[in-house]
Amino acid sequence: MTGRENEQRHEDLRRMAIDHLWLPFHQMNDFAQTPETLKIYESGEGCWLTDIEGRRVFDMMSGMWLQAVGYGRKEIADAVHEAMQGITSNPWAGTNPNTIRVSAKIASLAPDKGSRVFLTNGGAESNEVALKIAKKYHKIRGDAGRYKVVSRAGSYHGGTHATMAAGGGGIAAPEDYGPLQPGNFHVTQPYEYRCSLCAKNGSCTLECARDVERIIEDEGPETVAAFIGEPMSITGGVYIPHDDYWPTIREICDRFGVLMIMDEVVTGYGRTGKWFASMHWDVQPDITTMAKQLSSGYLPAAGAIARKEVADTFLGGEDEKFRHLYTYGGHPIACAAALANLKIIEEENLVENSAKMGQYLFERLQVLYRHPFVGDIRGGKGLFAAVELVKDRETRERFPAAMGVSDKITALLDSHGLLTRAADGVIPILPPLITTSDDVDYIVEGVDRALSDLADGL
């Protein structure tokens, strides 16, 4: 292809996108005057992406927090190709070997090895399923009055109406869609750096966990079905709770007969240096939701894991059936991709690598405190870290939104070969689990340079 032909191809792609693509969180007409600003990536290898102009960037956000094994893994492509020679969808009232095997594999990795897995296509579906399981669980047990859900203000559990109501934070934008599903009640996030409940004490007193206890008591335990929360949050600001937070939540849920749902859509399958983040605190959820790194995004694969005691409640007759279905849930081709992906994670010890490189990343990031507007650096549990920027380090005052600091630092990071999306002054750093020490050095040096550039423009 000649240079001119290649330029024409790029122009055609951009024009088609501007005219016909509905890209999330963008106004496509913004690209009409400057079409070259529309980023189109067409290949990837390892932790790196290459756009149609041939420019390479390090993917510091793992796609959308889902690339565990990196781009371009032939093993997964081969597994998918082989699976396509067999059965390519689930017939009614039947299943297939790949779907069976991935369910058993997931259960073998889960905190409860006797778990049962309901497979879906993505995180929002997984959380929707978990909420329905919780409500039906109580109904089967004679507690049909338990329909309320306690979640955390500012969390993100998906973009369906039910999952928007369960937190409604981040990119869900519930204010755009009218009244939300009733029966949802929000508590405080375990965000130690900005905790309003512990501000006067200066250290964590677990009041955020006690908030769950208070709202259950206020609403009446006999009306509450479940509590749902991310073990470590990405959308709410990339934070890691106090080590006693989840054990306290587990005790509260047990005391009031409320099911505890852990949304491990981002944290599952090695992101935090454990197969599941719940393992950091030796806490067993009643239902665990997962997606993203289950297949490293090669194909949509996700699900809800119900511990054995919960799943066994649904064994019986017609009234105990879980009447719920997704056409593509547990798709045999997606399950083949997931199985190949999990095999790579195991064989290449990527969970252990995440723990090791995550600690190295956290240690290396400390140098960034040399910038006076770096307020907090979070990390230390796997490749899950963040740098929060503030106007005043002493008061922790945020930069005014009008200054556009998040957009500026995102663009500056891109100019230094790092792809991520800063929001609310927080730079998330969640690279693929194959990240090496050299990659970590590249990340930290790039962020350092971008912050220096930002200082020049403030």
Tell me if 130 is assigned to some domain. yes
Q: Are residues 251 and 153 in the same domain?
A: yes
Q: Are residues 305 and 415 in the same domain?
A: no
Which residues constitute the domain of residue 143? 74-347
Q: Are residues 64 and 147 in the same domain?
A: no
| Amino acid at position 94, single letter | G
pLDDT of residue 454: 97
Question: What is the bridge-based pairing of β-strands 148-152 and 224-229?
Answer: parallel
Q: Are residues 262 and 279 in the same domain?
A: yes
Task: Return the CATH number at 389.
Answer: 3.90.1150.10
Domain stops at, among 347, 372, 398: 347
pLDDT of residue 154: 86
Q: Are residues 300 and 324 in the same domain?
A: yes
pLDDT of residue 169: 61
Q: Are residues 224 and 262 in the same domain?
A: yes
Q: Looking up tokens 């597994």, which residue turns up? A: 79
Question: What is the bridge-based pairing of β-strands 426-429 and 418-419?
Answer: unpaired
Answer yes or no: are the C-beta atoms of 67 and 76 closer than 8 Å. no
pLDDT of residue 176: 81
Q: Are residues 298 and 441 in the same domain?
A: no
pLDDT of residue 170: 59
pLDDT of residue 175: 77
Report the DSSP beta bridge partners of residue 155: none
pLDDT of residue 201: 54
pLDDT of residue 95: 95
Q: How far is CA 419 from CA 182, 414, 446, in A?
A: 38, 5, 11
Q: List, as one string, the DSSP characters of 157-179.
A: --SSHHHHHTT--GGG-GGGSSS
What digits encode the pLDDT tens for the residues 204-259? 888 999 999 999 999 999 999 999 999 999 876 788 999 999 999 999 999 999 99
Give 432's DSSP letter.
Answer: -
Element (DSSP H or E) covering residue 261:
strand 259-263
Q: Are residues 314 and 403 in the same domain?
A: no
Answer yes or no: are the C-beta atoms of 273 and 355 closer than 8 Å. yes
pLDDT (tens, 9 = 90+) of the chain, 458 residues, equals: 788 888 999 999 999 999 999 998 889 999 988 999 999 999 999 999 999 999 999 999 999 999 999 999 999 999 999 999 999 999 988 999 999 999 999 999 999 999 999 999 999 999 999 999 999 999 999 999 999 999 998 889 998 888 988 876 656 677 788 788 899 999 988 888 887 777 555 578 889 999 999 999 999 999 999 999 999 998 767 889 999 999 999 999 999 999 999 999 999 999 999 999 999 999 999 999 999 999 999 999 999 999 999 999 999 999 999 999 999 999 999 999 999 999 999 999 999 999 999 999 999 999 999 999 999 999 999 999 999 999 999 999 999 999 999 999 999 999 999 999 999 999 999 999 999 999 999 999 999 999 999 999 88
Rg (the chain; Cα; Å): 22
Q: Are residues 124 and 44 in the same domain?
A: no
Between CA 233 and CA 237 the distance in angstroms is: 7
Answer yes or no: are the C-beta atoms of 40 and 26 closer than 8 Å. no
pLDDT of residue 172: 64
What tokens appear for 394 in the block? 């002493």
Q: List, as one string, the DSSP characters of 139-160.
A: HHTT-TT--EEEEETT----SS
* Global confidence as pTM: 0.95
Q: Are residues 343 and 415 in the same domain?
A: no
What digits encode the pLDDT tens for the residues 335-390? 999 999 999 999 999 999 999 999 999 999 999 999 999 999 999 999 999 999 99
Question: How many structural domains does the chain have?
Answer: 2
Q: Is 77 helix (H, G, I), strand (E, B) or coil?
A: helix
Tell me if 353 is assigned to some domain. yes
Q: Are residues 146 and 241 in the same domain?
A: yes
Question: What is the bridge-based pairing of β-strands 184-187 and 302-306?
Answer: unpaired
